Chain A
Amino acid sequence: MPLETLEFEEPIAALLKEIEALTQLPRTDARDREIEALGRRLVTVRGTLYKSLTPWQRVLVARHPNRPGLEDFIQRLFTGFVEIHGDRRFADDHALMTGFAEFKGQPVLLVGHVKGGDTKEKIFRNFGYARPEGYRKALRAMRLAEKFRRPIIVFVDTPAAYPGIESEERGVAEAIAVNIRDMTVLDTPIIVIVSGEGGSGGALGIAIGDRVLMQEFAIYSVIPPEGCAALVWRDSSKKAEAAAALKLTAPDLLEFGIIDEIVKEPIGGAHTDPAAAAQLVDDVLTRVLAEVGAMTSDARLAKRYEKFRNMGRAGIEFLEE
């Protein structure tokens, strides 16, 4: 898929166009030097632009159509992936993928949302909106990992759980609730990486872990900014204001203690250099997997409880009578 540029990336788009035009010309030393110079400009322009992204711009980057997702990470970081299908109850959800693979020789279970690349694939994946059977498949696969003491690595990237009639009928709320509860006591290491959109309950339904990591330009929110704008401003065009108010960026969430660590991205975002982005994930993943893996079950579970038990304590005070 060709690299798409976002509305605020106008200067980047212009440079890319110039470079593209030059590559169509016959090859000369002068042309090559110019392409090289433009390439350097591109890096500088990207660096400047991405250093001061607004929260809304981060939302756009998190949703970037070229942003590397689970399938890309599987290809770059894991070997021998075998997909596990279906919840053994109703269906195989295509928006949520599970399977086992090896990470540097260590067998692991992978769980994550998939949004899909081209239009056909997007429709097949329901744009990353998982239905109840997706969450139930995830739990079934995670129980398999627990039984055989394999660590679980979760990639979160969903706009939301699917808000449709069949989703409600088949109990999407129950499916998410059971996942959240059971993941808090699942006896095997769980590492969560919010890699794109952390869309509310649809994200949290697979996002309980010993460590919750977040890529630099990912977002994690209780409601999409558009929904928040429509609800309180009664005006969905206030999405940029809503994005800022919701504090949904990685640095915000780190400050609140909701995530443990930010995984850096290449300058200009993961979509500009998926290989470099994957390498940055690899480094952190290797380290935290070793750290969490070294703990005893009891210590790990106690720590996991404490971690979620303490969420938001800083936002509370006692009021004296």
Chain B
Amino acid sequence: MAWFKKTRKPMAAPAKEKPSRVPEGLWVKCPGCAQAIYNKDLVTTLNVCPKCGHHFRLGAAERLRTLFDAAWTEYDKDLVSTDPLSFTDTKPYRARLKAGMEGTGLRDAVIVASGAIDGIETMVAAMEYEFIGGSMGVVVGEKIARAIERAIGARMPVVIVCCSGGARMMEGALSLMQMAKICAALARLDRERLPYIAVLTDPTTGGVTASFAMLGDLNIAEPKALIGFAGPRVIEQTIRQKLPDGFQRSEFLMEKGMLDLVVDRRELKATIASALRFMGAGALATQSEAVSP
């Protein structure tokens, strides 16, 4: 077993579904400061390097654990893609789906769940990058749209944690249409005057950015996350020059006026809770009864 590894493996799904995976190494080398960090320390810092503040990527289940006060109720976890295009490139899409499921314990690239954030009942969708790059296909679109509709029914705020390379190519224009599906649901949420907070984490690009990631009542990003529409490589090919340092990173986007704030993960939950209170969500939560899954 290696003592060092470059990137962290995703952590396991909730304990009842899958036993917690033992990390491969005791130590992790931080890509931010190149120092060795004791793996156990990262658990207490929510996977933020205690030395330089580098934010390691979080799995969807870990993300929920960092946001909810206690247990949560998961919805629609059994939805799976049928491979509607029968897509095959260098390998069949079905094989990629299978690998994604085995690697994450999930059926697709998002977990949706409701639970309390600092006492405020909230609907949260957290994307899973280890599942085909967190890409958005019909299942991700359907699960998020259902989550929003459920939140409307229960008069709950919505938080979506984005971590995605964009629309899922292997589902063609059907993935593109998930942008429309989710935006349509968000328009209804908006009309109901219910809060929606978009959390943008590394990476948030393509069709996810050009839909729900940019539509929050607040758009909050984690530090130094890659956020953009076109990928950096595509832009470099178009303009035939190197991109400036920090281009398409959180701080750059905030400077350009596209983000409301950039927040350290260790402050994220408190920031979301205070924003939700500003938006009146505390009062909403006391009105609403338990949500039926």
Contacts and interface: CB of A to CB of B under 8 A. Distances in A.
Interface of A: 160-165, 167-174, 176-178, 180-182, 184-185, 198, 200-201, 204-205, 208, 220-223, 227-228, 231-233, 241-242, 245-248, 252-253, 256, 258, 304-305, 308-309, 311-321
A308 B229 contact: no
Contact of B179 (A163, A174, A180, A319): A180
Contacts, number: 205
Contact of B257 (A171, A204, A208, A314): A171
A317 B80 CA distance: 5
A221 B239 CA distance: 23
Contact of B180 (A172, A204, A221, A320): A204
A181 B185 CA distance: 8
B173 A173 contact: no
A222 B208 CA distance: 12
Contacts of A198: 173
16 contacts: A161-B229, A165-B235, A169-B256, A173-B214, A177-B212, A178-B214, A180-B210, A184-B187, A204-B180, A221-B176, A228-B89, A241-B89, A246-B173, A313-B138, A319-B79, A319-B80
Interface string B161-178: 000000111011111111
B21 interface: no
A256 B89 contact: no
Contacts of B79: 316-319
B38 interface: no
Contacts of B257: 171
Given A163-B235, A201-B179, A311-B178, A231 B169 contact: yes
A171 B219 CA distance: 13
Q: How large is the interface on B (under 10, 10 to 19, 20 to 34, 35 or more residues)?
A: 35 or more
B82 A316 contact: yes
Given A164-B238, A170-B256, A315 B174 contact: yes
Contact of B229 (A168, A231, A253): A168
Contact of A248 (B168, B173, B191): B173
Contacts of A258: 173-174, 177
A228 B138 CA distance: 18
B191 A233 contact: no
B291 interface: no
A256 B191 CA distance: 30
Contacts of B185: 309
A256 B84 contact: yes
| Nearest 6 Cβ contacts at the A-B interface | A315-B84, A163-B230, A312-B138, A311-B177, A173-B229, A173-B209
Given A164-B235, A318-B79, A321-B78, A245 B85 contact: yes
A204 B145 contact: no
Specify the main secondary structure of chain A where it touches its partner.
helix
Contact of A174 (B87, B168, B235, B258): B258
B183 A311 contact: no
Contacts of B213: 173, 177
A312 B80 contact: no
Contact of B172 (A221, A241, A314): A221
A177 B210 contact: yes
A233 B90 contact: yes
B228 A316 contact: no
B35 interface: no
Given A181-B186, A222-B169, A311 B229 contact: no
Contact of A177 (B174, B215, B234): B215
Contact of A163 (B188, B207, B234): B234
Given A168-B230, A171-B256, A233 B89 contact: yes
B126 interface: no
B66 interface: no
A223 B174 contact: no
Interface in B140-184: 141-142, 145, 167-169, 171-181, 183-184
Given A185-B187, A305-B188, A311-B141, A222 B229 contact: no
A181 B210 contact: no
Given A165-B243, A181-B187, A305-B188, A316 B173 contact: no
B81 interface: yes
Contacts of B248: 168
Contacts of B107: 319
A226 to B, nearest CB: 11
Which of B169, B206, B228 is packed against the most chain A CB atoms within 10 Å?
B169
A172 B247 CA distance: 14
A222 B243 CA distance: 25
A174 B181 CA distance: 16
Contacts of B256: 169-171
A256 B247 contact: no
A147 B151 CA distance: 30
A165 B184 contact: no
B145 A309 contact: yes
Given A247-B85, A316-B80, 16 more contacts: A163-B230, A168-B229, A177-B214, A178-B214, A181-B190, A184-B180, A200-B176, A222-B168, A233-B90, A245-B88, A253-B173, A312-B84, A312-B141, A312-B171, A315-B174, A319-B79
B173 A247 contact: yes
Contacts of A201: 176, 179, 206-207, 210, 229
